[in-house]
Amino acid sequence: MTPEPFRITQAVFTELPVRGGSNWYFLELSNSDGVTGLAEFSYGESSITVSRAIAQMAEELQEEEIVSESDIPAMVGLTPGFLQSDRILATAITAIRNAVLDAQAQIAEVPLYRLLGGGMTASVELYGNINRSMLRDDSGDSDRSSASFAAVAERAVEEGFQNIKCAPFDECRAPFGGSGLPDETKAGLDRIAAVKLAIGDGVNLFVDCHSRFDLESALALEPELAARGVAWYEEPVSYRTHRNDLATIRNAATMDVAGAEDAYGLDIFQSLIKEGVTDVVMPDVKYCGGAGESVMIGNALEAISPGSVSMHSPSGPVSMLASAHATAAFKGTRPLEHAVWEVDWRATVLQPAEHIQDGRLLIPDRPGIGATLNQDLISDNGRRWSATQ
Ligand SMILES: [Mg+2]
């Protein structure tokens, strides 16, 4: 399906406080017919810097007819290799690409996954990431005990999630004193054991290590994770700074090794799978080039290594919905990430409200991503500004 050209006439930004000082950020790009495409660009402390980069690029693009959103980086003079090295610009360009795609699917009057080449899809399976439900809240409280991990994981299973992810190694940070398994892993391994006991053998447990280890400690940790029934070993070291070490860990591991949640562009994801650095790559729809790039990644890699693509999606409802369209379009066999219970009003950020049932995200049967921002909620709790102000 060839999309209609889109010309940007307006860029509007929204900031919405979530909890504990973190915010979600959204971009709306409109054309002169009043069609508005929506995207999320939440990127922690750097989000406002990203919004400035988006504003500058949107202004550059105002004279241009955008036919294919994949042409946008070249239209503003950026290459995939450069974007892989500059996460601010990668996030900015990705937001523009996603908003244009949403608008183009609305103009074509089809759900986004159809524009991206997918067949009819009503829902996408999710995995429950329990980390954000246990982060420090506005009062400064957090309970990182094994019992707390187990209780949240058990609730997720009760609500239908068949795959649970946690990041339990708070106490660890390489380099470690001594050799072999660091003592600092004990608390994390206890949390894993408690979660596994709570969820049972029929539910998969994914463990995210946030690049807290080095080669030796990661190799020593792997058998401990295997003994506790862990199914997925995420970024013991970073693919950016320790690529060869990650390949060595992946070769030694009996479980799937996953990573690359912050990468941009098909080439890097393709090289990680083809060179055996990871078993699974994790494109994030906010950073990787967007839903269109994710579908290119999924189509290319699922064909040579089924199950090698699982989308990273720990943020708000707009990025998760766009990720669900992409996963549906490339017929991903891995579940999509969802940060469960970060805030209890999350579903109402969108109209129609985000709908999760039995561990699946229901995709609205509407054009585009199928939802818009709830402007009442934004005007009560958030902040909106346009690129020109
Ligand atoms: Mg991760």
Domain borders along the chain are 10-110+373-386, 114-372
Query: How far away, in angstroms, is 289 Cα from ligand 1 center?
Result: 18
pLDDT of residue 388: 64
pLDDT tens per residue across span 76-128: 999 999 999 999 999 999 999 999 999 999 999 999 999 999 999 999 999 99
Query: How far away, in angstroms, is 132 Cα from ligand 1 center?
Result: 12
Phi and psi angles of residue 345, each rounded to the nearest 5 degrees, phi first = -100, 10
Closest C-alpha to 14, from 264, 318, 339: 318
**114-372: which CATH number, 3.30.1360.120, 3.40.50.1820, 3.20.20.120, 3.40.50.150?**
3.20.20.120
pLDDT of residue 382: 97
Overall fold of domain 10-110+373-386: Enolase-like; domain 1 (3.30.390)
pLDDT of residue 389: 44
Query: How far away, in angstroms, is 208 Cα from ligand 1 center?
Result: 5
pLDDT of residue 317: 98
Query: How far away, in angstroms, is 246 Cα from ligand 1 center?
Result: 14
Structure tokens at 73: 């980086």
Query: How far away, in angstroms, is 235 Cα from ligand 1 center?
Result: 7
Phi and psi angles of residue 328, each rounded to the nearest 5 degrees, phi first = -65, -40
The segments of the chain whose pLDDT lies below 50 read 389
